[in-house]
Amino acid sequence: MTQRDRDTPLPVPTAESRPYWNGLRAHRLVLQRCAACKRPRHYPRPMCAACFSLDHEWFAASEQGLVHSWTVCHHAFHRGFRSETPYVLLTVDLTDGVRMVAPLVEADASRLSIGLPVVLDYQDVNEEITMPRFRIHERDE
Amino acid sequence: MNTLRDTAAVTGVGETRYTRGTEKSALRLTLEASLAAIRDAGLTPPDIDGIVAYASGAVVAEDLLTNFGCEDFRFSATTPMGGASAVAALQCASMAVSTGVATHVLIPLGRDGYSGARINRRVGQMRQFRVVSEFEAPVGANAPAQYYAPMARRHMELYGTTSEQFAEVALTMRRHAALNDNALMRTPITVADHHASRMIADPFRLLDCCLESDGGAAVVVSGAERATDMAQPPILLSGMGVGHPDSPSAITQRPDMTRLGLAKAAPRVFEMAGVTPDDIDVAEIYDCFTYTVICQLEDLGFCAKGEGGAFVEGGRIGLGGALPTNTHGGLLSQAHVAGLNHVVELVRQLRGETGARQVDGAEVGLVTGYGDLGDGSIAIMRRQ
């Protein structure tokens, strides 16, 4: 995917999610986990659904993952993505046990299958926002 | 034990003509459909003392009260579950009339989905989509087709479900719509037409996606005893329920994205109604996408998980098949009034007034709703 059209919707980080977005800005994957039982969670939220602790912490997560599912977007439902179709959106099982959805760098879905290894990549959109994306993890990497 | 079984009935139904293009407001469409339903029940507008308005729509109960001249209005609620709202509203209305809180509850739904705001703008305004708006809209997931496509793709990869099976659903809805003079899409389609329709969000082609349309539908719910003395044969609400999937705010984080909230509600509702899937004569299944019908048939227990694709083959869900489904043409070929048209159709089937598309001897039927990111609702009805 090339440099984004400025018309694409941008995230509005909240007090709850800002460390995640700040991590992407620094080209690091920073995820939330429960401070009491250490269970990772995504997307960021106030309470642990396993032990109900309201305390959380942030940790540097692995950028590796496996394809869980995908779609190839041929029709843009937002004008900002019209110049990008077709684009692939991956749902990825991250090594740390949560999932992320982000575009695949290449537009070709023919190599995709459940369990295919992918690795996180970063795309700077502007001075404040960096978006996640994935590329296929090649064997010789 | 849930005591709602057979305590309330649908006593009136109404619809506008469905169009693609209108000068009428959503409120005007809502009022037209409401008036038709109220008259069908043998009532006048001031008889309505409760309303379950559509939480995702432009019309609130006060808009209707102002036009109805209601003097002693007693019950107002919403059931904010997107496309599952209309069927969830049946449970809400039943609770109100069976407890005596209200006597006649109206469930109205009018929308200018073709002429007004389209789906991508509508979901952006719904609070249920707050999480995906922050994390998924910016990467390019901006509409239900794009949210749900990965569910369908995973189902295909895990279970071998095919685009031919999706086409079977689309073709069946179209054949049913051809028998309904208030359906928008009545020209027959073939599997080749389905496969040639443009790709929207793989694996969804255009003919896997529901319509955007303008129009309104409404139903009246009254207490079962009162219903025996009204204008129409009462259609009893025998079982009702709602279910939310795991991780209801984001499909992405769901442990099993092929299992919907409906899977949790269905066993409860069959038990409440005292029937099994084998007893269902006709089904109206929320069909925002072809795949969604296949997945719900599994979650309802008509077949095992993964077998929904094979289940829809061979005419099983068509008129004359074992489970005639979406006899009006559904959201795919009749119109999109967020599934309240499915409720209207089930009532008419159980009354036996649907003419060329009537399921012979239909006595027990089922209707579902599907909304937001996998919320489900279900009602089982029977002719008294």
pLDDT at A2 over 90: no
Average the pLDDT over B119-146 and give the result: 88
Out of A14, A86, A131, whose CB is closest to B139? A131
Q: pLDDT tens digits for B145-157? A: 999 999 999 999 9
Residue in A8, A72, A77 closest to B120 by CB? A77
Residues of B with CB below 8 A from A43's CB?
131, 134-135, 249-250, 253
A94 and A25, same structural domain? no
pLDDT in tens, A6-17: 588 999 999 999
Whether B361 is covered by a domain: the verdict is yes
Domain count, chain B: 1
Q: For residue B125, tell me if it sits in a domain.
A: no
Q: Closest by alpha carbon to A92, among A73, A109, A114, A74?
A: A114
ipTM over 0.85: yes
B125 band by pLDDT with thresholds 50, 70 and 90: confident
Tell me: do A141 and A85 sit in the same domain: yes
pLDDT tens track for A109-134: 999 999 999 999 999 999 999 999 99
Residue B122 confidence (pLDDT): 77
Asked if A56 and A125 sit in the same domain, the reply is no
In a domain, A121, yes or no: yes
Q: Is the pLDDT of residue B322 over 50?
A: yes
How many distinct structural domains can be found in chain A? 2
Residue B37: pLDDT above 90? yes
Which tens digits make up the pLDDT trace of B330-344? 999 999 999 999 999
Whether residue B145 and residue A77 make contact (CB cut-off 8 A), yes or no, is: yes
Question: Distance between CA B12 and CA B43 in Å, rounded?
Answer: 9
Q: Residue B96: how many CB atoms within 10 A of its CB?
A: 24
Domain housing B342: 8-116+210-383
CATH number of the structural domain spanning residue B256: 3.40.47.10
Tokens read off for B18: 């469905």
Please tell me which of the candidates A43, A78, A103 has its beta carbon nearest to residue B142.
A78
Chosen domain end from A45, A61, A77: A61
In this structure, the answer to whether residues A42 and A88 fall within a common structural domain is no
Within a domain: residue A9?
no
Please write the tens of the pLDDT for every residue from A39-66. Answer: 999 999 999 999 999 999 999 999 999 9
Question: In this structure, is residue A45 part of a structural domain?
Answer: yes
Cα–Cα distance, B296 to B292 (Å, whole number): 6
Q: What is the pLDDT of residue B77?
A: 97
For residues A67 and A30, membership in a common domain is answered with no
In angstroms, rounded to a whole number, what is the distance separating the alpha carbons of residues A25 and B213?
42
- Assigned domain for B268 exists: yes
Q: Taking a C-beta distance cutoff of 8 angstroms, is the pair A40, A94 a contact?
A: no
Average pLDDT in the B299-321 region?
98
**Same domain, yes or no: A104 and A141:** yes
**Strand pairing category for B199-202 and B214-223:** unpaired
Place B1 in a pLDDT band, splitting at 50, 70 and 90.
low
Chain B residues in contact with chain A using a Cβ-Cβ cutoff of 8 Å: 119-120, 131, 133-143, 145-146, 149-151, 153-154, 157-158, 198-203, 249-250, 252-253, 257
* DSSP-derived 3-state class of residue B66: helix
Q: Which strands sit side by side in the sheet containing B104-112, from one edge to the other?
A: B75-78, B50-53, B104-112, B214-223, B8-15, B235-243, B375-383, B364-371, B282-284
Q: Is residue A27 one of the residues assigned to a domain?
A: yes
Residue A90 sits in which domain range? 62-141
- Structure tokens belonging to residue B16: 């506008």
**DSSP designation for B332:** I
Residue A34 in domain: yes
- CATH number assigned to the domain comprising residue A134: 2.40.50.840
Write down the pLDDT at residue A1. Answer: 42
Average pLDDT over residues A84-111: 94
Looking at the structure, tell me whether residues A74 and A119 fall in a common domain.
yes
Q: Where are the alpha helices (DSSP H) in chain A?
A: 18-25
User: If you count DSSP H runs as helices and E runs as strands, how many of each does chain B have, helices first?
Assistant: 13, 11
Across the interface, whether the CB atoms of A114 and B201 are under 8 A apart is answered no
Choosing from A6, A30, A61, the residue where a domain stops is A61
Residues A68, A39 within the same domain: no
Q: Identify whether residues A20 and A48 lie together within a single domain.
A: yes
Query: Residue A68: inside a domain, yes or no?
Result: yes
Same domain, residue pair A66 and A114: yes
**Residue A3 domain flag:** no
Chain A nearest-CA distance from B151, in A, is 7
Of A25, A44, A61, which one is at a domain's C-terminal end? A61
For A68, nearest residue in chain B (alpha carbons): B154
Both A96 and A46 in a single domain?
A: no
pLDDT (0 to 100) of residue A6: 58
Residue A107 pLDDT > 90, yes or no? no
Please check whether residue B263 lies inside any domain of the structure. yes
